[in-house]
Structure 1
């Protein structure tokens, strides 16, 4: 944005946290993050989201050995909800830039006896081979990337043909702006997210509403699939 006032030109440009800053921010939040999500109703909302997808028969739940990548796993709230509602024997590969978040995720998944392994990495450079996963799940991570399309294309790379991406992002609006002000992320509306997803090469996009609660007003959830 630019304004001209008399002989002065004033500009404002959006900046994003560096990887080191983002890691430090979430390291500091790791000790209370999981309880925070539970108190705000996100853990319940995540379970209901998985219930909706299961009832719609849109997930690869019939295989004995599913392998799923959770990009931006945090303290594993999204993965734990998946394990509870879909398949507790799914192997979770959890990726996060914050080592403290990964420590918490490792503890939570181990306590729940969910097969898993955690990796400290940036979503833009996932440490996995092409077509490695039966699904990728990603909650409130894409909005932290300066170039979200790059991150989506990297996610598509590690998906098997025909496999789904289940994505949750911060929604544009007043509450989204308040979250953005504190955490330095960006927000999306459905049109913006749809454009990004199609550019990344994903198809069959469907948006899934959250149940009544805070997540319904702060977040957008959707599922899309890698071309076969």
Structure 2
């Protein structure tokens, strides 16, 4: 079984409880705080939430007030994808893809890509980031949330065996993937401020 298949099966088993966990830890408000600091076009956007999980990042974007001409949700876990679709509901024109980033084919079409806590599970983070960059339309924006070192992250590691990246290291990975401009956005409080860090890359 591939690492992706193994991980997606674990997320399938966790799907029914995942959104409650995200709500309890405050990730939705953390993502909305980040969105409030990023300059995005005012027009309706064509967007992708890559490995959306239960849709927390996409839901935060909708709650923040972003408008989407099209919103694609991608996740290899079918159960997570079903929860994400329910979260978005009828708030945006929606397409769902039960696959992983490497198998998603659209190129140079997204104004905005959301990607929360994905690259730390990838064997080659630079290759994954380069694939995401190839999906961005000219002038498009990638918004990332990535695990950072903290003793709280050790608790997550014991369950999910993920990696953590210092902000300087993450900026270096983004540069190697071909992004020209990267800005960091620390989360202000709670669990997200301890275990995660936000990035905007163009």
Is TM (by shorter chain) over 0.5?
Answer: yes
The structure with more radius of gyration = 1
Please report the RMSD computed on the Cα atoms of aligned residues, expressed in angstroms: 1.4
Q: Does 2:17 align with 1:36?
A: no
Is 1:121–1:127's contact at 8 Å kept on the other side of the alignment? no
Q: Does 2:194 align with 1:217?
A: yes
Name 2:171's counterpart in structure 1. Answer: 194
- Give the 3-state SS of the residue equivalent to 2:36 in structure 1: helix
- Give the 3-state SS of the residue equivalent to 1:74 in structure 2: coil
Cα distance in 1, alignment partners of residues 63 and 69 from structure 2: 10
Cα distance in 2, alignment partners of residues 115 and 182 from structure 1: 35
Alignment of 1:138-217 (within 5 A): 138-217=115-194
Name 1:6's counterpart in structure 2. Answer: none
Is 1:126–1:154's contact at 8 Å kept on the other side of the alignment? no
Name 1:26's counterpart in structure 2. Answer: 11
How many residue pairs were aligned? 201
Cα distance in 2, alignment partners of residues 145 and 171 from structure 1: 15
Cα distance in 2, alignment partners of residues 202 and 208 from structure 1: 16
Cα distance in 1, alignment partners of residues 104 and 65 from structure 2: 25
TM, length-normalised to structure 1: 0.84
Name 1:66's counterpart in structure 2. Answer: 45
- Shift of the alpha carbon at 1:29? 0.7
Moved over 3 A (4+): none
Q: Does 2:81 align with 1:102?
A: yes
Q: Does 2:31 align with 1:46?
A: yes
Is 2:46–2:68's contact at 8 Å kept on the other side of the alignment? no
What per-residue deviation string (whole Å, max 9, x for no partner) do you get for residues 102-147 of structure 1? 011111111x52221110111123231x211001110011111111
Question: 5+ unaligned residues in a row in structure 1: which ranges?
Answer: 1-16
Cα distance in 2, alignment partners of residues 113 and 134 from structure 1: 18
Question: 5+ unaligned residues in a row in structure 2: which ranges?
Answer: none
TM, length-normalised to structure 2: 0.94
- Shift of the alpha carbon at 1:25? 0.6
Is 1:66–1:90's contact at 8 Å kept on the other side of the alignment? yes
Residue 94 of structure 2, aligned match among 106, 110, 116: 116
